[in-house]
């Protein structure tokens, strides 16, 4: 790997000018045999070649050499089985965010500046040797003056400037690639990078990790799952101090199996916690791999490292519920509607997509719940999405990656364990939530608000109808996209529900002079349908 002062550790690290950094990346393309790809990006290294001729291993090595931002972006891509073929996912999954730790003499001044005093004034002991190190931060074990064992996480010096600079370059390369390479344009690199920038910004803020651990930890108490407590007087954006768990790391299953722990019960607790965090809480630990899980000495479960968290907004949860109901009813049209909504309503062969999904649903419709393997289902779904060039929104891709991580983990603990069995009580809880008095009151409030807005706009609507009747002319405005749809193929020729209120309004305007009573009734019906459609969309 080239000596790169842009990636040097230590306060003396100085960001290179973008042109110099770009030249370094250009050399890395050549070093890893990717001159053809560089040429297609307009970097003029050699003759152009097909994008699919690039070896995944070479691209992974390139990302590793570029630095922390590229490595973490590669790890985000490794979650996107809906976009990339299995060989790319396998290669990207091997990207390691591990680097040699910095000497304690380098990070000590940063710790002392962040805590507002010397190490000796706050800690009874402090291990100089880091117990773990990544590209963003490294971790030391220590003991506070009150004898509490803690973990001290400190952000690497200069890393924020380095990541910001490389993010700008990644965006620049992504925009060029989107214009020049159709295979990359399909991946929506701009959207991916926006999501990635938000994710890495949260990871940079060690205080955000502490807040997420506390907030999600409160929710997880009901499941008997613990998260580390943080010392808020000493924790901030650059350093955090958290409780050190005592127990068996879940990554060390051999030791766990030799203990008296009830691993089957712990697997069930873990699965319920993950599923409830995602579906009910909507705020979840997004990287619950065995290295972030502890079997604690009191027989409970502990979760650490909340640097990666996900959020599932109520709207998205509603869409997931609708998707689940459509699958249960074997309504392939409903399933397609949700998938196309998520993909941004692209132009696809809907009939062929419905046939592919119907085959998938039929394959599992007569299979017992405990015999269903989520991994198998996801692999088939991802293949269908790739086939039809449909991309999932980043938040849902994170949810699916988290679910697959969870299923893989519980099957390692207990090969007979079936995470799909845990879905039944969760479905009941979801239905209770959807029909709760509070939920119904909220929906009623939205309905009355919509009725109120419609009532307030009625005079102007009647005025417009009268104006149309008096002048005999109707101004029609059609967006270019809608015009294209009107010109589209015959299978989409059915009138959409939104057209009915407009049609009734026009009829009312035409009849206003000769049949005012009928026109009034049509106008009222038009308003009612418009309100109904609006409430339905909400």
Catalytic residues: 287
Residues with Cβ within 8 Å of residue 538, at least 6 apart in sequence: 446
- DSSP secondary structure string, 429-446? HHHHHHTSHHHHHHHHHH
| Contact (Cβ atoms closer than 8 angstroms) between residue 89 and residue 82 | no
Helices marked H in 181-313: 182-185, 189-204, 206-220, 253-258, 263-276
**H or E element, residue 476:** none
Burial class (CB in 10 A: 0-12, 13-18, 19+), 7: buried
Q: Tell me how far the alpha carbon of residue 373 is from its chain's centroid.
A: 22
Q: Using H for helix, E for strand and C for coil, what is the string for 127-162?
A: CCCCCEECCCEEEEEEEECCCCEEEEEEECCCHHHH
The number of beta carbons lying within 10 Å of the beta carbon of residue 133 is: 17
Based on DSSP, count helices (H) and strands (E) in the chain, helices before strands.
23, 11
Dihedral of CA atoms 330, 336, 342, 348 in degrees, nearest 10, equals 160
| Contact (Cβ atoms closer than 8 angstroms) between residue 94 and residue 77 | no
| Contact (Cβ atoms closer than 8 angstroms) between residue 13 and residue 24 | no
């Amino acid at each position: 790997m080239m000596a790169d002062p842009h990636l040097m550790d230590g306060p003396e690290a100085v960001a290179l000018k973008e042109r110099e950094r770009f030249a370094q990346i250009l050399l890395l393309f050549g070093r890893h045999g990717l001159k053809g790809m560089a040429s297609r990006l307009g970097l003029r290294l050699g003759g152009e070649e097909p994008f699919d001729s690039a070896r995944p291993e070479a691209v992974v090595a390139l990302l590793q050499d570029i630095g922390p931002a590229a490595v973490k972006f590669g790890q985000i891509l490794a979650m996107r089985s809906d976009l990339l073929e299995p060989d790319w996912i396998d290669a990207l999954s091997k990207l390691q965010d591990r680097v040699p730790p910095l000497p304690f003499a380098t990070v000590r001044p940063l710790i002392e500046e962040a805590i507002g005093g010397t190490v000796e004034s706050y800690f009874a002991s402090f291990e100089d040797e880091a117990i773990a190190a990544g590209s963003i931060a490294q971790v030391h074990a220590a003991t506070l003056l009150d004898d509490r064992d803690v973990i001290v996480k400190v952000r690497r010096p200069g890393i924020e400037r380095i990541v910001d600079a490389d993010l700008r370059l990644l965006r620049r390369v992504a925009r060029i690639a989107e214009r020049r390479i159709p295979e990359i344009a399909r991946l929506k690199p701009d959207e991916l990078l926006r999501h990635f920038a938000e994710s890495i910004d949260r990871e940079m803020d060690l205080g955000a990790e502490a807040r997420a651990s506390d907030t999600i930890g409160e929710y997880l108490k009901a499941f008997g799952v613990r998260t580390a407590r943080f010392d808020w007087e000493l924790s901030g954006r650059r350093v955090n101090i958290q409780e050190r768990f005592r127990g068996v790391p879940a990554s060390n299953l051999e030791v766990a199996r030799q203990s008296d722990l009830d691993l089957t019960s712990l697997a069930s607790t873990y699965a319920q916690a993950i599923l409830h965090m995602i579906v009910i809480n909507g705020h979840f630990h997004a990287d619950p791999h065995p290295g972030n899980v502890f079997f604690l000495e009191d027989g409970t479960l502990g979760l650490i490292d909340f640097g990666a968290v996900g959020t599932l907004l109520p709207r998205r949860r509603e869409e997931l519920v609708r998707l689940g109901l459509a699958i249960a009813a074997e309504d392939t049209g409903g399933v397609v509607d949700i998938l196309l909504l998520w993909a941004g309503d692209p132009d696809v062969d809907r009939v062929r997509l419905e046939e592919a999904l119907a085959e998938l649903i039929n394959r599992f419709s007569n299979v017992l719940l405990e015999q269903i393997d989520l991994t198998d289902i996801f692999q088939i779904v991802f293949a269908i999405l790739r086939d039809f060039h449909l991309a999932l929104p980043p938040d849902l891709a994170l949810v699916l990656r988290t679910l697959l991580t969870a299923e893989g983990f519980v099957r390692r603990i207990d090969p007979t364990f079936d995470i799909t069995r845990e879905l039944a009580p969760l479905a009941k809880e979801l239905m209770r939530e959807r029909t709760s008095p509070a939920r119904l009151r909220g929906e009623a409030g939205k309905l009355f608000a919509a009725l109120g807005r419609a009532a307030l706009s009625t005079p102007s609507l009647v005025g417009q109808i009268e104006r149309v009747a008096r002048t005999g002319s109707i101004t029609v405005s059609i967006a270019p996209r809608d015009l294209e749809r009107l010109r589209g193929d015959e299978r989409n020729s059915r009138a959409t529900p939104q057209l009915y209120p407009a049609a009734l309004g026009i009829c009312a305007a035409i009849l206003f002079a000769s049949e005012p009573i009928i026109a009034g009734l049509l106008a009222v019906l038009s308003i009612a349908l418009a309100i109904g459609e609006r409430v339905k969309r909400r």
